[in-house]
Structure 1
Amino acid sequence: MSITILSPLAGWATPLGEVPDAVFAEKMLGDGIAIDPVEGRLVAPGDGVVMSVHPAGHAVTVQLDAGPVLLLHIGLDTVGLGGVGFTPHVADGQRIAAGELLMEFDLDRLARTAKSLVTPVVLTNGEAFAVMPPVGGRPVAIGATLFEVQATGVAPATAVQAVTASRALLLPLAQGLHARPAARVAALAGARPGTFEIVAPDGRVAPARSAVAMLALALPHGAAITVRGSDAAGVDAIADLLAGGMGEFRPIAAAPEAGVARAMPSSLAGIVAVPGIAIGSAFRVSMAELVVPEHGAGAEKERAALTAAKDRVRAALRAETAGEGPQAGIAGAHLAFLDDPELEAVSRAAIAAGASAGAAWRQAIAGHAEILRGSGDRRFAERADDLIDLERSVLAALYGAPELPQPPAGAILIADELLPSQLMALSGAGLAGIATGKGGPTSHVAIIAAGLGLPTLVSLGADLESITDGTMLVIAEGRLLIAPDAASIERLRAAAAVSAARRKAAVARARETAVTVDGTRIEVFANLGSAADATTAVAEGAEGCGLLRTEFVFLDRADAPDEEEQRIAYQAVADALGKRPLIVRTLDIGADKPAPYLPMATEENPALGLRGVRLQLATPGLLDTQLRALLGVRAQAPLRIMLPMVADRSELLAAKAALDRLAAAMGVAAPELGIMIETPAAALSARLLAADASFFSIGSNDLAQYTLARDRTNAAVAAGLDGLHPAILRLIAETVQGGGAHGRWTGVCGGLAAEPAAIPILIGLGVTELSVPAAAIAETKALVRTLGLAACRTLAAAALDAPDAAAVRALVEPLLEQAA
């Protein structure tokens, strides 16, 4: 039975042997045909899955449901364009239908800059399928039959030989490991006895005999890779070929000599994921490499093995969801990933092509993880860690995994990256704190750490690797102090003791209201992300919810939640709050392609792109569904709705019109509609916006990063991101005054609301509501009770005229010392 390959391009079909590139002409990558395109559209040659989209955009690899794996390589020597002229419309791991648009490319630009526009369409798994002789020298239309293939009936080799040799090197190829050098490596590996692999810096593995698998690693110039295999001479031959550059050599900046330890710095700046002070010795945890066979022992056997492994993991996750705390919610998210139909489809296709159960599962996870990492939205990027964690859980169920060594009590756990399962496995070890080189403040590791009460710093950078086990460490005020002197440790121990005593006293009065010494009432609400958060916040003394992040309903899933599912989730939060007010922020997710049900084009600057209210208005069906769900909630206290990332009055009016329309259709009263002040434009337009917005809530994190042009997730610049910068305080003052002109109140729900140095200034500027993490409620209330409104106003006026954030902090310090 033959399988038809449809033409992905319109143009002139040319025999592969006539392509002016030896790699393709000599069929080193496989057999096929080439097309000289007449328009800049590349579409799917059949139903299947995208295996990889090269970062340079010039090459797409797809696996059809019938088994053939096809490389679609737009032009020759186009990798050097660095993506200029290419617009991808799909991502790794995405399912595609025949004729679906994969890539748009600028035909005129490529004609001026590329060696050739000729586009090879190559069958890369020639051991499983044979190409029927294609006819060249003819015009083809998109979707027309290009050529046919037939299954050979030959199964891939299943013998997997143990790794006995490895060699590390920095990749000197000027354009990275693209098609031409990958083909040469594959040819060499195929000519040598034994099995060989290329290992990427992040641990992904590709067989050296598969040029397509190596392409999917997207290894750039300078990447630190490892060549490993069962034959030492073969490993050296492949490593020598790569190290020689194959005619594309470009020097790499000098790196530290092998075996020479990097000197430990005295301190590192990071991002605070869980506040607090921790003192303890360093204990490093790293991920042990899991050996996964490349080839399977037959599709039926491998499918059964994968199903059985997933069943074991599923049972363990379900047991965890029956518990309480953040671990239960995270286990639920992992369950959703485990049963994702896209992961199932990709892994089944890979097994059908001859991969082992483990290699197929790894391939499926890798594609989706790259989608999330490239989303441009920090929260989605952090979900990639959950996928990698799930990958390891299934692989461990398939092949076994070593036990994690247990740290000594009181240790500070350090790791480049930490997975949720690793932290949960060590949760009973009596850790003092956590410090990671990567990761983010909203990752599941951070959530678990917060639940365990462990001070945590993330995004500390590569220098964390220089810290040796047993080194004394201190986590304090956003820094990791490395081997501090005895006097510093004692000073910090004393500060930690004072802080603990202050917290104990604050918790004892947590359920009392927050009123200044001269009688001004300040509401202290909680920022929430789920019904479980609401229960915790009420216990901590929250007077309401100032920010419900509705993303908790939308994340970690393959399709959008429907109206009833959303309504039930929001109702659960309202029920947990009881008679306390609830402010719900509508969906606030970012750009690029944050979710499978929101396909969006790649954006060069996602933080400035289609996000927040812009995304909602661009997808009115999604917004209407969420608004109807919220209108269906029956709360005992006022429920208000808040729009994120508003920068223009027209955005507010459009959303308000939708809310009024839906409320009228449902026969209910529209709740108050407010906006987040997260852009300088919104702050400076507050007087105008207040005519239509019922209230303002300042998202100080985003407002600070947009005002100061510093990415708050980038450790290299985040240390200079200070919400007490006078420019930010002036924008807050403008917001309060603009709202006050129409009788609107202003709250703060960003990180500034829980910062002791900021609280008196915010009160002095006229802020009347502070929405903070549940753990900060008691101490925020306690601080408010020590403050006088007149003194706060005087302090705020001085802060507005201060030269910088450091000067503002110096102004506040005496007041805080007096409050203590």
Structure 2
Amino acid sequence: MSNNNNELTLGAPLSGPVLTLDSVPDEVFASGAMGDGVAIDPLNDCLHAPCDGVIIHVARTGHALTIRAENGAELLMHIGIDTVALNGEGFALRVKQGERVSQGQVLVQFDLDCIARQCKSLVSPIILTNGEHFELRVLDLKTVKVGEPLLQIAPRSVAPLQTAVDNSLVHASTSVRVNHRGGLHARPAALVRKTALGFSSESQVHLGDKSAACDSLIGLMGLGIGEGDEVRVSCRGKDAEAALHALVAVLSVAGNAAHPAPVAVAPRRANTEADVLQGVCAAPGLVCGPLLRLAAIELPADPGNHRADEQQQRLDAALEQVRGEIRTTLEHARQRQQVEEEEIFAAHLALLEDPALLDAATTAIEHGSAATHAWRDAIQAQCAVLQALGKPLFAERANDLRDLQQRVLRALLGEAWHVELPAGAIVSAHELTPSDLLQLSAQQVAGICMAEGGATSHVAILARGKGLPCVVALGADVLAVPQGQRVVLDATHARLELAPSDARHAEVHRIRDALTLHRQQQHAQAQGPAITADGVRIEVAANVASSAEAQLAFDNGADGVGLLRTEFLFVDRHTAPDEQEQRQAYQAVLDAMGDKSVIIRTIDVGGDKQLDYLPLPVEANPVLGLRGIRLAQVRPDLLDQQLRALLQVSPLHRCRILLPMVSEVDELLQIRRRLDGLCAELQLSQRPELGVMIEVPAAALMAEQLAQHADFLSIGTNDLSQYTLAMDRDHAGLAARVDALHPALLRLIAQTCSGAAKHGRWVGVCGALASDPLATPVLIGLGVSELSVSPPQIGEIKDRVRHLDAAQCQQLSQALLDLSSAKAVRQACHHHWPLS
């Protein structure tokens, strides 16, 4: 370790009251197991560098980092207690591991309110982790401001005596699963270090091809060991066996390996308020009303000895009934373009075909079980397997199986899903299922709260899509609340208030009325332009598939049509629409939009979207096959007919043509030449603007070359996401990970905008990302000037634009390109541009 023997005075990294370590509400910090130091109860929202140095460790979740000073002293700064459980929420890192920093530089920006609501304490320890080489003196202060002197560090004159170890005697090693919530972050790493220092043997922890000595706090944290990861521990020395047993105990005991942690019950700040339960927000909102509890179906004991053929027939009939119900749900979701709902129930349909599940039920029936009990037991066995993995995400997926358990049991028992609920009821349950959620939403319940469940579960996704306030992980106490008791569900802050006063009820109604008024104001102002605070105009257009949808978009304030999907004319019929029918359909859309422009995408079928009258070869990978513009190479007559129809709309200058699935410049040039030829045939003096969809990585990488010959570029983030991430967006198991805010996607968007700008071309986004208000500032910051969204969201997105500063968006968005994941980007967006 480098040590230049210089004394050092450290400036305060935070402002606030100064506390001694023994007053920190955490036994590991308070005991000095991590080292000597001090703590600050922060009043500001930024952690600053206490000295010049190098960042030698950054916690994966951004809540802690370590700086090595010029004289070799290493200081760990830990924002709050138990903040690892936030998994990065509320923290925005401003530095990277290995970066050299200057005293006073901002290292981390954090959300005080977010941390205070969800964690044990805001008190933030500052620890000297290599105190064996240094002496530390805390200045006598009651409060401090950032940069003021806080600590003095001087090298020890005599290094501690090192005990010689005879490593030739014993070598021991074993594997162990790390069960500490959140993995081997600072606190559990300190316990491992403290345990190792109690033995003379050398000990190490190994994860894959990486290793760290157990007496090195930084080394242990640097391994990035997550909760549930399996590691190998090795010890060498006279007391190796004893050291190994002690270290295994420390690594495994804390998380209670025998019992998987409850689903998504994130450690949270103990709520000291009377009659308030604290949980985890799954869908924001604020409502009040009577609390009513739903219970799952319970079966009586099974006497057994049933006729196997009869029970199998009963099960088969029930399964087919439920499949039919799910297919109906799927069709309704498709019609309403509810993509997430469609994906969830497509996954349910796949689960009902799972051979492991069906074989287990059939085997039980063959051994004399009733169909009801055989199905229940098969589901519960699969749920147990998922729960035993110890991963919250897998445990949440088990809830989808429980949904199928309830649905098939109802079919077997001849029971319909029916619960009488008063208007405005808040529903509680141990854990609701996706189909429960749809039924409750149809009955216009006000909110949902669950004892268990997770914020990333399918129920949570559906609740957010329905605008239904939902809190999960409230604990068993929520099930003991008397039926009909009047409560307030503050889902935004993850609170269930069990005994609200009349004044509190009145306040909730006032807040909800204000929110309703805000939405009405957004709609009332939607006809006006969307101009940022610093004067940049953003076009907010609409994605439509018919003239009726275009009329809705116009009424909602759309600045134009950013994407007309012409496939609606071609699908679900036995013959292709002729030129006249197409022209009339396109003209109707132009007429519905008044004097605004309309971007019409040429037919995007083929691959997985087959037409009866357009036989194409069967393809192993249809999404990589004959799609979009590639179809013109097989059936040029189809595209010619469509282009002729488009060239006959009036006024032609309001029509822009968009080409899908372009991957190289030659494809664009070929269509451009054909369009010019058709204009000549029809004696048109000017052709309409011609744009290119950027939906394959090749097009994004060639954006500058494409922009040289195209009039505009429009980014289709849905396809661009799946092609960039190599994840089928229709794959039930991967759908949640196909996130267009992934840094790789943002880099492609940035490159597209940069390439277009070199030729003075504008760039729009017509994919789902444009409709996400969280993404609005990012897209503006990267150079997008047009957003095409679903018609109901026009007012919301325009309002979002008006509250942004485009220059600030540009500055902050560049840093997002260097983040590690879509989740990290979303967290940073919430921090920089909170949603109201």
The TM-score normalised by the length of structure 2 is 0.45
- TM-score by length of structure 1 reads 0.46
Larger Rg: 2
